[in-house]
Amino acid sequence: MKEPKQIVYRYDGTASSDEVVEDFAGEMVIPEKGNLIQRNGKMWKVVHVIKEETVAGPKAIPIYRVFLAS
């Protein structure tokens, strides 16, 4: 079974740029540090990825914070 998750993309370290993507089907791949990804029509480098657990229990959905730099 695939893991549902939430991904928060942060662009150039600016908190106000956070973009939240919900993946309840668990189909999205979490980018790894050093990868280049395309978001919003631009190429970005993944500089850091943090996994956070929301609440303990069977309904917990992890949040992946993906920090991007131009």
- State the DSSP string of the chain: -PPPEEEEEEETT-GGG-EEEEETT--PPPPPTT-EEEETTEEEEEEEEEEE--SSSTT---EEEEEEE-
8-53 tens-digit pLDDT: 999 999 999 999 999 999 999 999 999 999 999 999 999 999 999 8
Q: How does pLDDT run across 42-68, given as a tens digit for each residue? A: 999 999 999 998 666 677 889 999 999
